[in-house]
Amino acid sequence: MTLLPFVQWLAGTPGSTALHESTYAYPLVESAHVLTLCVFLGLAVMWDLRLLGMTLTNVPMSQLKERLGPWMTGGFIVMVITGAMLFYAIPVRSYQSIWFRMKAVALVLAGLNAVVFHRTIDRRIEEWDKDPVPPRAARLAGVRSLVLWTIIVVAGRMIAYNWFDCDKQPQSALVNTLAGCVVDVHGAP
Partner 1 sequence: MNLLPYFQWVSETPVGQAITRSSWLFAVIESVHLLALAVIGGAVLVLDLRLLGLGLRDQPIERVARDAHPWLVGSLIVMIVSGVLLFSSEPIKCYYSTPFWVKMSSLALAMIFAFTVRKNVALAGEGRVRPVWLKVVAIVSLTLWLGVGAGGRWIGFSA
Min dist. Cβ of residue 121 to partner 1 (A): 22
Min dist. Cβ of residue 56 to partner 1 (A): 5
Please state, in angstroms and rounded to a whole number, the distance separating the CA atoms of residues 73 and 39. 9
Please state, in angstroms and rounded to a whole number, the distance separating the CA atoms of residues 130 and 124. 12
- Name the residue among 2, 177, 142, 158 with its Cα closest to residue 61: 142
Residues that bind partner 1 (CB under 8 A): 27, 30-31, 34-35, 37-39, 41-46, 49, 55-59, 63-64, 67-68, 71, 149-150, 153-154, 157-158, 161, 163
Nearer to partner 1, 4 or 49 (CB): 49
Please state, in angstroms and rounded to a whole number, the distance separating the CA atoms of residues 27 and 128. 44
- On the CB side of 106, CA atoms within 13 Å amount to 19
Nearer to partner 1, 41 or 181 (CB): 41
Handedness of CA 32, 70, 49, 135 (dihedral sign): negative
Crossing angle, helix 98-119 and helix 136-158, to 10 degrees? Answer: 160
Min dist. Cβ of residue 63 to partner 1 (A): 6
Min dist. Cβ of residue 42 to partner 1 (A): 3
Min dist. Cβ of residue 130 to partner 1 (A): 13
Contact 2, 95 (CB under 8 A): no
